[in-house]
Amino acid sequence: MKKIITPIIIIVIAAFVLVPQAFYKVDETQHIVLTRFGEIKSIQSQPGLKIKVPFIDVANVLDKRLLRVDVPRAGFPDIQSQFLEIDAYVRYRITDPRSFREVLSNEVTAGDRISNLVVAALREEVGMRNREEIIGGNPIDLADGTQKVEPIVQNGLFAREQLTQKVRDVADARAQEQAFGIAIVDVRIKRAEFPDSIVDTVFTRMRSEREIQANALRAQGEEQYLTKTADVDRRVAIISAEADEKANLLRGEGEGQAISILAEALEQDPEFFAFRRSLEAYSKVLNDSTTLVLSPDADLFKFLQSAQGSK
């Protein structure tokens, strides 16, 4: 009995040891790179159960899905030589398992190499743009003293989206040149801000820029005020001159009409007019405080001597 049990136990143990070494499973989300002493023997991408040489062949698993690499935070100078601390990440997919295995070996090495490509592309693209384009918006001062960020659109894309697409294209092209066996699908900037060491300097510069802008606006306002004041003064002078001219014309016309009316009245009854004028003269000249020494034949008394105004 013992002789029968012992071979069975040996067979079971051998099965437990050899079966995992002889068979391997390919998942639908995986590439399997089969290597023998470091040399690639085959690539398996179709799901299923596969066979390999036990203890000699090694099944190296590569992921078919989108993979993510977080790019180390670093400082990048913009077109104005202002450094920005940028956090970014990359998403890529393995398209050629053989090249990936031969050049990059594994995902850890791939993450380092891809990060270097993206950092180089970011440094080039950021160096050709200003701060507003990198951040993706332009701050606008509102009437209530607050600010809002207006998105910058270039060629139908937001400025940051255009930047990340350009970085992705450059990094992907270099990855293809170096036969990494991958396709860089996306590059995204998580955060872009000034380094802590230069925040005070940046704030000082921003205050100086705002002060210069405020002074320019004040000067512009003062210029507009003086222009409008001079224009108003000129219009007032013109209106006053026109009014004086019109008043003088009306006054002259009135005086002319008065003279005409007076002449017409004089022509109708000169004697009565002379009598009325004499009465006005009497009321002004002859009073209790007036002493006159005149000849009785003076014209002033002709209406006092007779009803006909004669002696």
- pLDDT at position 309 over 50: no
In a shared domain, residues 118 and 225: no
Query: Pick from 133, 163, 194: which residue ends a domain?
Result: 194
Domain end among 194, 218, 250: 194
> pLDDT, tens digit, for every residue of 127-168?
888 877 777 766 665 555 555 556 666 655 678 888 889 999
Least trusted range by pLDDT, from 96-100, 186-190, 241-245, 256-260: 256-260
Are residues 119 and 89 both part of a single domain? yes
Final residue of a structural domain among 62, 86, 103: 62
108 and 188 share a domain? Answer: yes
Q: If you average pLDDT over every residue of the chain, what do you get?
A: 81
Report the 10 Å Cβ neighbour count for 151. Answer: 11
Give residue 52's domain range.
2-62
Instruction: Provide the residue type at 274 as one letter.
Output: A
Neighbours of 87 (CB within 10 A): 15
Distance from C-alpha of 157 to C-alpha of 163, rounded to nearest angstrom: 10
Residue 311 in any domain: the answer is no
160 and 77 within one domain: yes
Question: Among 180-194, 198-212, 251-265, which is the least confidently predicted range?
Answer: 198-212
Residues 207, 176 share a domain: no
Total domains present in the chain:
4
User: Is 122 in the same domain as 144?
Assistant: yes
Whether residue 257 is contained in a domain is answered as: yes
Q: Give a yes or no: residue 156 inside a domain.
A: yes
Residue 226 lies in a domain: yes
Whether 10 and 52 share a structural domain? yes
Tens of pLDDT, residues 81-106: 878 889 999 999 999 999 999 999 88
Residue 75 and residue 159 in one domain: yes
> How would residue 198 be classed by pLDDT, with cut points 50, 70 and 90?
low
Q: Predicted confidence band at 310 (pLDDT cuts at 50, 70, 90)?
A: very low
